[in-house]
Amino acid sequence: MNLEGYTLQLILREIENGSLSPEDVNEFYYKRSVELNSVLNAYITLLEPRSRAEGDLKGIAIAIKDNISTKGIRTTCASKMLENYVPPYDATAVSSLKKHGGSVLGKTNMDEFAMGSSGENSAFGPTRNPLNKEYVTGGSSSGSAAAVAADMAPIALGSDTGGSVRAPASFTGIVGFKPSYGAISRYGLIAYANSLEVIGILGKSVEDVKILFKMIAGKDPMDSTSINVDLKEKNISKPNILVIKSFVELSSEEVKKEFYNSIGKLESAGFGISYVDKFSLTDYMLSSYYTIACAEASTNLSRYDGIRYGPKVESASNWRDYISKARSFFGPEVKARIMMGTFILSAGYYETYYLRALQLRKMIKQEFEKIISGYDAVYVPTMPVLPWKIGKAIEDPKIAYAADVLTVLPNLTGSPAISIPVGKVREFFVGGQFIGLRAEDMKVLKVAAIAENVLQVKKNGRN
């Protein structure tokens, strides 16, 4: 039996009609994962299947990013700091999946503490792109994307702080959905930048991510920032979308060409296409994003001191020495962001940087809400470039930071955004993202589903 190219939707249908058994499905993904993981490094922890065929998900095992807490299954954040940490509780999203009959297939590789856009900043080594092993998968949900793209999982959970679901989805040619801020509980998601991030879903089709989204969305008493978004199907047939030209112009020639090409196809299929030349704050989005993210990260990651859990320090002259030694186990990217955040929050710099970043965030949100009014979604490329060769961004960190320029907007505004493959360049895909107003998740899912059907970029997908 070969389930290559199968969507979750198809698997569930075939289990329903008896042509597939849940055991077969789990066996297939497990075996394939064991086989491919030595090459792709998508999983940090892989679990033998032990499903019970019940609930909507029939016991199907799902890949979970390794920064989402799973009771009894180690959760490392791809960091030496949590190499042996086994959470005593499930994240709310994981317990929701279990309630629907899902189980955990494995914990996927990622950029350490979700800091990165390439999948290279992992203490367990970089994840390799199934489309070309020498190239990055994009990050930080690198393993979740690689697993779905290489048929090592039917679907996966990731997290998106500044594009961490959409970037790897775009680089591996799959669908990546970042819901509205708060739409899925963050309880149990190991925090990097609380005010920006949300659990997201990586799948083979828009329908697949929607199936899972409906199961895990909703207000959670354990997460005070969670909200109920409307989960009713939206009735749209000819979407009106708005293209921000200044975003497209930030992209490479190859990306631009494929992206404009997709617009042509959408227009012929009846999409209403409008353009706006400029989003006036385009140049400041990364500054606002990195200031807020680093500030939040520096305090979130204070707790890793080797005292309660994490690396034990054998000899230390005093408690400060103990903590500093334990914290040396963070990787360089994490250290750099903690230090930057510490600097930003230092007396005197709070006003200079942090407050201005908040001010910008407020202005960006206002401008976004103004330009989107009257449209179903904003449509822009997901990544300004194609995947780069592993190692390149390590030489020049600016490459990785700049790659986030088109994905941070929805995190700053709390908007839902979904990336789907919209074009193809050599072995790689170009991703386009649809962005909506906060809480209008079902609207962007609907628009993306129509576009996916029009564009048919991935012909090997079996629905």
Partner 1 sequence: MEEIKVGLEVHVQLVTLKTKLFCSCSSDYRGKPPNTNICPVCTGLPGSMPTLNKKAVEEALKVALMLNAQPYETSYFFRKTYFYPDLPKNFQITQYDKAGGYPLAHDGYLKLSNGKTVRIERIHLEEDPGRIYYEGSRATARYSLIDYNRSGIALIEIVTAPDMSSPEEARDFVERLTTILSDVGINVKDYEGSLRVDVNVSYAGGERVEVKNVTGAASVEKAIIYEMFRQKTMYEKGIKVVRETRAWDEKRRITIASRGKEFEAEYRYMPEPDLPPVTITESLIKKVKEEIGGSQEDRYRELINDGINEELAKKISSDKNLFNVYEKIKFYEPSLKQLAANVLANEISYLIKRYSIKTLPEDVSGLAEILQNYRIIPDHESVVAYLKKWIDGEKVKISFKTVSAENIQNDIMQIISENYEKIRNLEYNKKFEFLMGILIKKFGKENKKVLVEELTKVLNKIK
Partner 2 sequence: MKYSINKLSKLSMLKISKEEEKMIAKKVQALGELLEKLDAIEPPKEAFVLAPEGEHKRDDVPVEFDSDEIIKVFNEVKGRYLKGPKTL
34, 53, 85, 260: residue in contact with partner 1 (rule CB under 8 A)? 85
- DSSP, residue by residue, 409-420: HHHHHT--EEEE
- To the query of whether residue 58 is one of the catalytic residues in this protein, the response is no
- Least gap, CB of 341 to partner 1 (angstroms): 9
- To the query of whether residue 140 is one of the catalytic residues in this protein, the response is yes
What's the start-to-end Cα distance of the chain, in Å?
17
With respect to partner 2, which residue has the nearer C-beta, 261 or 342?
342
Contact 181, 161 (CB under 8 A): no
- Residues at the contact surface with partner 2, assessed by CB under 8 A: 85-89, 182, 195, 221, 224-225, 227, 283-284, 286-288, 290-291, 294, 298, 305-310, 312-313, 316, 318-320, 322-325, 327-328, 330, 332-333, 335-340, 342-344, 346, 351-353, 355-362, 394, 397-398, 401
Closest by Cα among 202, 208, 204, 165 to 460: 204
Q: Among the options 95, 140, 185, 262, which is catalytic?
A: 140
With respect to partner 1, which residue has the nearer C-beta, 59 or 414?
414
Does residue 354 bind partner 1 (CB under 8 A)?
yes
Q: Kindly report the backbone phi and psi dihedral angles of residue 171, in degrees, each rounded to the nearest multiple of 5, phi listed first.
A: -70, -20
Question: Which residues is 242 bridged to in the sheet?
Answer: 274, 378
Per-residue contact flags (x/-) with partner 1 for residues 160 to 189, judged by CB under 8 A: --------------------------xxxx
Per-residue contact flags (x/-) with partner 1 for residues 215 to 254, judged by CB under 8 A: ------xxxxx-----------------------------
Which does residue 294 bind out of partner 2, partner 1, none, counting CB within 5 to 8 angstroms by kind?
A: partner 2
CA dist 289 and 286 (Å) reads 5
Does residue 412 bind partner 1 (CB under 8 A)?
no
Does residue 411 bind partner 1 (CB under 8 A)?
no
CA distances from 100 to 83, 212, 299, 317, 425 (A): 29, 10, 35, 51, 38
Q: Among the options 33, 58, 65, 142, which is catalytic?
A: 65
CA distances from 104 to 65, 78, 128 (A): 10, 17, 22
Closest by Cα among 30, 37, 45, 49 to 153: 30
CA dist 129 and 390 (Å) reads 9
With respect to partner 1, which residue has the nearer C-beta, 12 or 165?
165
CA dist 324 and 317 (Å) reads 11
- To the query of whether residue 298 is one of the catalytic residues in this protein, the response is no
Q: Among the options 51, 103, 159, 164, which is catalytic?
A: 164
What is the CA 123 to chain-centroid distance, rounded?
A: 19
Cis peptide before 140 (omega within 30 of 0): yes
- DSSP, residue by residue, 176-217: EEE--TTSB--TTBPPS-TTT-EEEEEESSHHHHHHHHHHHB
**What single letter denotes the amino acid at residue 364?**
I
CA dist 86 and 256 (Å) reads 44
Site for partner 1 in 267-306 (CB under 8 A): 295-296, 298-299, 302-303, 305
- Least gap, CB of 255 to partner 1 (angstroms): 33
41, 69, 95, 282: residue in contact with partner 1 (rule CB under 8 A)? 69
What 8-state DSSP symbol labels residue 261?
H
With respect to partner 2, which residue has the nearer C-beta, 103 or 288?
288
* Chain contacts with partner 1 (rule: CB under 8 A): 67-69, 75, 77, 82, 85, 87-89, 91, 186-191, 193-195, 221-225, 295-296, 298-299, 302-303, 305, 307-309, 319-320, 323, 342, 345-347, 350, 354-355
List the catalytic residues. Answer: 65, 140, 164
